[in-house]
Structure 1
Amino acid sequence: MLSVVAHAQNQQQPDTTLIVYNGQLTGAYSRGGVNRTLISTTQAVMFTRGKHLGLPLNGSFIYGKQDRLLKERELLLNATPYYYKGRFRAYAIGGFERSNLRGITDRVQLGAGPGWAFYSDTLGREVSVSNLFIREKTDFLDGTQQITARNSVRLKVAYSIKILTLSSITFYQPSLEDFNNYRFSNLTTLALKVTKTLAVNFSYNYTHESQYSEGKVPDNTNVTLGVSYATKR
């Protein structure tokens, strides 16, 4: 999908709108020593208008039980409209999150900031960095609330060759009021294209939060293998 989007962006006319959809579904079930059920899905829609405007919409949901007890119920939604011209990027962001693993009942983020592409081409290969300033409100399961401003640094690396696509996005988000309050996350996905619209995906997702609800843990790692579907019009 990355190569399709990049190529289309470079070929679009000023009055052209392109829509690209990508969806992934994975699941796991086991019985015996450990009884576990897990379902995971990610959905993404990319709108591009003309040669300079883009609007990615992304969502993910994970639901999992272990020995019939709820362990994972993770929801993440975000929109990151941007303006690009040459190597320069200007981003805005709006996000909503819930996490049973990290004890988050509601988290809302709003922000904006610049970005820069060190390298990009029509094949979807890219190395870019952005630095956004965000305002964030988090309500935890234990009843506490945290409101803070963060500096959100993102490193994006994308590489594609023939039927293989590698994508990696890394975030470092310290609070501007207390640098001991920070978050770090990485999502790396390797996609093997099977047909024009179907691909097999391997994903590694790691998150660390220095502030978390009592009884929860600061680190979480997910490794998934599944199938994705992509189309454009």
Structure 2
Amino acid sequence: MTFRYLLCLVFLLGFLLPVCAQKADTTIIRYSGQLAGQYSAGGVNRTLFSTSHSATLLRGLHFGAPVTGSFLFGKQDKRLKEREWLFNATPYYWKGRFRLYGIGGYERSNLRGINNRYQLGAGPGWAFYSDSLGREVAVSNLLIREATYFEGGTERLVSRSSTRLKVVYSYRVFALNSTTLYQPNLANFTDYRATQLTTLALRFSPRFALTGTYTYTFESRVLEGKPTDNTNVTVGVTFSTK
């Protein structure tokens, strides 16, 4: 069975498992969408546009199925430099502080020369702190099988450990959401990927907020001539439902 068929199966299970688990009157769907951009001029003229969307299906007291997607488009000196797509489904089960996650992901990036990247994995997690306001400090570790198809026809198939630190905090009109990922190749720990995504939101109403987002990615092994890291800082607006 190919990676793309397995990926479709994970997305399907992410929706069907929670639906089959509990009664229909306990279903909750939450949506959040963000538009952000950046412009700079001087030594390098740069424009950057990004949009991200997430939908989470919560079922009963123990099951959830978040699906997220993002698109990024950037130019430097009027030349296309960045165009990236990212999709993830992370169905999970939780009871108390324990978490059990699955993941299916797809990525495409011309900045790093990635035509297609597929990820499948599963693993446990633990919430050191969580409350009824949605604030949380949690760590998880998943084993991931990853297939990457690069520009030029080369490809890589590796197994990774994916350690994630997630911090969600809110105080009055301010909200912080931070995710840190460290993903080494299990066969060679000098081959690794690290990601930091932090969003600070100033909420004007229960549904609208002004956001600032910091994104950093580092990949130790890339195609020749491609950058190993990339940093973006954007400002935008977010719409969400409860």
TM-score normalised over the length of structure 2: 0.87
Q: Which residue of 1 aligns with 2:3?
A: none
Q: CA deviation at 1:37?
A: 3.0
Q: CA deviation at 1:124?
A: 1.6
Output aligned runs, 1:1-233, within 5 Å: 15-29=25-39, 34-232=44-242
Does the Cα contact within 8 Å between 1:140 and 1:212 map onto a contact in 2? no
Does the Cα contact within 8 Å between 1:142 and 1:213 map onto a contact in 2? no
Q: Which residue of 2 aligns with 1:3?
A: none
* Aligned counterparts of 2:101 and 2:49: Cα–Cα separation in 1: 32
Gaps of 5+ in 2: 1-21
Gaps of 5+ in 1: 1-11
Q: Which residue of 2 aligns with 1:8?
A: none
Does the Cα contact within 8 Å between 2:89 and 2:103 map onto a contact in 1? yes
How many residue pairs match? The answer is 221
Q: What letter is aligned with 1:58? A: T
Does the Cα contact within 8 Å between 1:173 and 1:183 map onto a contact in 2? yes
Q: CA deviation at 1:36?
A: 3.3
Does the Cα contact within 8 Å between 2:38 and 2:235 map onto a contact in 1? no
Identity of aligned residues (%): 61
* Aligned counterparts of 2:190 and 2:44: Cα–Cα separation in 1: 36
TM-score normalised over the length of structure 1: 0.90
Does the Cα contact within 8 Å between 1:26 and 1:224 map onto a contact in 2? yes
* Aligned counterparts of 2:93 and 2:219: Cα–Cα separation in 1: 30
Which structure has the highest helix share of the two?
A: 2
